[in-house]
Amino acid sequence: MIDLHTHTTASDGSYSPTGLVELAEQVALEGLAITDHDTLAGLAEAQQAAEGANLELVNGVELACKVPVGTLHILGYFIELDDRALGDLLGRMVESRRKRNPQIIAKLNELGYEITMAEVRAQASGPIVSRLHIALLMLDKGYVGNVHEAFGRFLGDEGSAYVQRTEPKPGEAIELIHQAGGLAVVAHPVHLRAGDEQELSKKLKELADLGLDGLEVWYPEHTAELTEQLWRICQRLDLAAVGGSDFHGAVKEHIKLGTGRGGLNIPLEILERLKKRLSRKS
Ligand SMILES: [Zn+2]
Ligand SMILES: [Zn+2]
């Protein structure tokens, strides 16, 4: 079994890169991709931890892209850690996220919620402080009943304290991932908020035309029906089918590494196919 979508303390996960590799070994994963948001900072440590382990580690990243409706995250797999152009983009994204947090907090203060940047920072164990950490603090303070509510009412793109940040256009993200030697895959297509299979197919065709390599077909929040639709779309558009749990550790306690909510079971063959696709391209 493999898991191609995971986060560490380098972004907003609760396991260090070494800790995550150790956990992957404990649950007997054969393949693991670390895909932190906007950063490659955890990958060198993870590679070191995976040396000599019976586990194939894939260098990954997850990039949020600018889209008019819904949420588009693109996963990059097999990327080179020292690529300048990708590094520059990631630097700009982290910087804009850093600037955005105080703006969100100011809006929340205006709405009457007592929250400080220092308190939010204390929620994060790594260098990246995200909206998730603001949500967790709001939960701690009893301002919301759960993280989902914090995003819906305040932090999400329809929330009252939402602030836009620097995000690449989908084509730009795909191109940068390719330039860095990687493959670009749409994460959790469920969040594209397509109304039906036809609309989903249309959105994904547009991305395929921009050079997209694959889709995250298997994901904890995907229904059996959506999984089947995505599988069909992969066949039709010649895209690779991949899957992962979006493991974050303690901050998303109900999601387990490898198995997600319990039903995920992605065979090693999926990673083998992805590698074949990469070698076909180069
Ligand atoms: Zn995501
Ligand atoms: Zn993710």
> Is the pLDDT reported for residue 183 higher than 80?
yes
pLDDT in tens, 199-243: 999 999 999 999 999 999 999 999 999 999 999 999 999 999 999
CA distance linking residue 231 with residue 81, whole number of Å: 30
> Is the pLDDT reported for residue 124 higher than 90?
no
Q: How far is the CA of 37 from the centre of ligand 1 (A)?
A: 8
> Is the pLDDT reported for residue 196 higher than 80?
yes
- Closest to 97 in 3D by CA, of 119, 120, 122, 75: 120
Domain ranges of the chain: 2-82+182-281
| pLDDT level of residue 166 (50, 70, 90 thresholds) | confident
Query: Which tokens go with 99?
Result: 């600037």
| pLDDT level of residue 282 (50, 70, 90 thresholds) | confident
Per-residue model confidence (pLDDT) at position 104: 97
- Mapping DSSP to helix (H, G, I), strand (E, B) and coil, where does residue 79 land? coil
Per-residue model confidence (pLDDT) at position 21: 98
13-18 CB contacts, 8 Å cutoff, 24+ apart: 13/126, 13/247, 13/248, 13/249, 13/251, 14/125, 14/248, 14/249, 14/250, 14/251, 15/249, 16/42, 16/45, 17/42, 17/43, 17/45, 17/46, 17/49, 18/45, 18/46, 18/48, 18/49
Higher pLDDT, 95 or 173: 173
pLDDT in tens, 48-89: 999 989 999 999 999 999 998 889 999 999 999 999 999 999
Per-residue model confidence (pLDDT) at position 12: 86
Q: How far is the CA of 105 from the centre of ligand 1 (A)?
A: 22
The alpha carbon torsion through 141, 17, 219, 168 (nearest 10 deg) reads: 80
Q: Which fold has domain 2-82+182-281?
A: TIM Barrel (3.20.20)
Q: How far is the CA of 153 from the centre of ligand 2 (A)?
A: 21
pLDDT over 90 percentage in the chain: 87
Query: Which residues keep their CB under 5 angstroms from ion ligand 1?
Result: 73, 187
Per-residue model confidence (pLDDT) at position 262: 94
pLDDT in tens, 127-138: 778 899 999 999
pLDDT in tens, 255-265: 999 999 999 99
> Is the pLDDT reported for residue 125 higher than 90?
no
Q: How far is the CA of 161 from the centre of ligand 1 (A)?
A: 20
Per-residue model confidence (pLDDT) at position 157: 84
pLDDT over 70 percentage in the chain: 100
Ligand showing the shortest atom-to-Cα distance for residue 71: 1
Q: How far is the CA of 110 from the centre of ligand 2 (A)?
A: 30
For the chain, the straight-line distance linking the first and the last C-alpha, in angstroms and rounded, comes to 27
**To the nearest whole number, what is the mean pLDDT of the chain?**
95
Ligand showing the shortest atom-to-Cα distance for residue 13: 2
Q: How far is the CA of 62 from the centre of ligand 2 (A)?
A: 6
Global confidence as pTM = 0.89
Ligand showing the shortest atom-to-Cα distance for residue 246: 2
